[in-house]
Amino acid sequence: MVFQLARDALSALVYHYKEGNLNWPMIIYLVLAHLAAYMGLVSIPSCKWQTLLEAFILWPITGLGITAGVHRLWAHRSYTATLPYRILLMLFNSIANQGSIYHWSRDHRVHHKYSETDADPHNATRGFFFAHMGWLIVKKHPKVVEGGKQLDFSDLAADPVVRFQRDWDPWFAQFMCFVMPALVARYFWGEAFWNAFWVAGGLRYCLVLHFTWMVNSAAHLYGDHPYDPTIWPAENPLVSVVAIGEGWHNWHHRYPYDYAASEFGISRQFNPTKAFIDFFAAIGMVSNRKRATGAWAKLRESRAKDEANGKSIKDFRGRGVVQGTAQPPGWEQSAHPKYN
C-alpha cells in the first residue's frame, strides 16, 4: 500500500504539474500540517503523559465530529437531532478541522451521486493516492463542479449551526484544532504550550486526517462486497477501527441513508459511532434513525431466487457474480482524465 501510494503520488504530481492543475494553497497547507505532525512526533519525549492522553482522547472525539456529525447527520440526514446535540457535534467537527460542515457535506453528496466517475471529487478509479488525498491538491474536475450545481443543499444553509461554522471558517476550526488543546493542557496540568500544540494539535490532527481519508481510498479499493458487488466501496474492518465505524463501506454505499452505516451493531461489527448515536437517542436528543435492514432482507430474497434460476451479472471488474444492480459507469477511466 505504501509503495502504491508513493507511485500514485509521483505520477499524479508530475501529470498535474504539467497540466497546470495543482492547487498550490492546499499543497502548502498540507505540507505545513505534516510538518506540524513531525514536530508532534519529536515533542513526545518531552511532553507530559496527560498530553498524550489528551491527544488520544481527541482521536474519537474529532472522529465523531466527522462520522456521527458531518457524515451521518448533515451529509446523509440519516437521523435528526436536537440543537444542543448539533452544537456538540459542530464543536467536535471544528476540532477535527476538515473543512466546514457545509462544504464537507456538499462534496460528500456529490461523491455519492456520481461515485467513481469524473464527477466524483475523490474518484477511486484514479488510483489510491488521488482517492486518499490527491483530490485535495489538484483543481476540481469541471464535472465535479457541474455535478454540485445539480444538487440541493438548502437544508444545510437553513441550519443555524452549520451557518455559524461556515461564517467563521477557517479561523474557528484552526483555533479549536490547534490552540484550544494547547490551552487546555497549559491550564490544567502545566504542559508547555508548544508541546501540546504539536502533539495534541498537529500530530493528532494529521493522523485523524489520514484515518478519514482511508475511507475514500482503502475502503474503496480493498475489502469484500457482500451487499453490492457491482460497486467499488468495500467492507474494510481495519478502516472501521481507525475511522470508528466508517469502514463498512459496501453497505454504506448500497444504503447511504442508514444511520448505522453497517448491517450489524457493535457486537458484530466495530461501529462506535452507531453506539454514540444510540446513546443520545436513549436520552432523547436523537430521533428518526433510519435503517436499511428491511430493504436488505428483501434484496437477499430476490437474489436467492435469481441464483436459483441461474441469473448472474458482472461485477465492477467484469467478473461474473450474483444478481444485483447494473455495472457502475466510469470504472474503466484513465487515472488522469483531461480537464476539458
Are the CB atoms for 138 and 22 separated by under 8 Å?
A: yes
Sign of CA dihedral 203, 204, 205, 208: positive
The DSSP element (H or E) to which 194 belongs, if any, is helix 193-196
Please tell me the pTM assigned to this model. 0.89
What is the C-alpha separation between 131 and 129, in angstroms, rounded? 5
What is the C-alpha separation between 325 and 238, in angstroms, rounded? 27
Cell 492546499 found at = 26
Sign of CA dihedral 252, 254, 260, 266: negative
Sign of CA dihedral 273, 218, 208, 142: negative
What is the C-alpha separation between 120 and 6, in angstroms, rounded? 22
What is the C-alpha separation between 179 and 200, in angstroms, rounded? 10
Cα 152 versus chain centre, distance: 20
**pLDDT value of residue 333:** 38
**pLDDT value of residue 317:** 56
Q: Cα(first)–Cα(last) distance of the chain, in Å?
A: 31
Q: How many CB atoms neighbour CB 150 within 10 A?
A: 10
What is the C-alpha separation between 162 and 176, in angstroms, rounded? 16
The DSSP element (H or E) to which 242 belongs, if any, is helix 237-242
Nine cell digits for residue 40: 508532534
Q: Pairing mode, if any, of strands 320-321 and 80-81?
A: unpaired
What is the C-alpha separation between 133 and 122, in angstroms, rounded? 8
Closest by Cα among 75, 85, 79, 70 to 153: 75
What is the C-alpha separation between 199 and 36, in angstroms, rounded? 8
**pLDDT value of residue 51:** 99
Mean pLDDT of the residues in the chain: 90
Q: How many CA atoms lie within 13 A of 317 on its CB side?
A: 7
Instruction: Report residues of the chain scoring pLDDT below 70.
Output: 1-5, 306-340
**pLDDT value of residue 315:** 59
Sign of CA dihedral 252, 8, 18, 35: positive
Q: How many CB atoms neighbour CB 281 within 10 A?
A: 17
**pLDDT value of residue 312:** 61
The DSSP-derived string for 248-272 is BHHHHHHSTT-TTSSSS-TTTS--H
**pLDDT value of residue 65:** 99
What is the C-alpha separation between 195 and 41, in angstroms, rounded? 10
What is the C-alpha separation between 196 and 302, in angstroms, rounded? 55
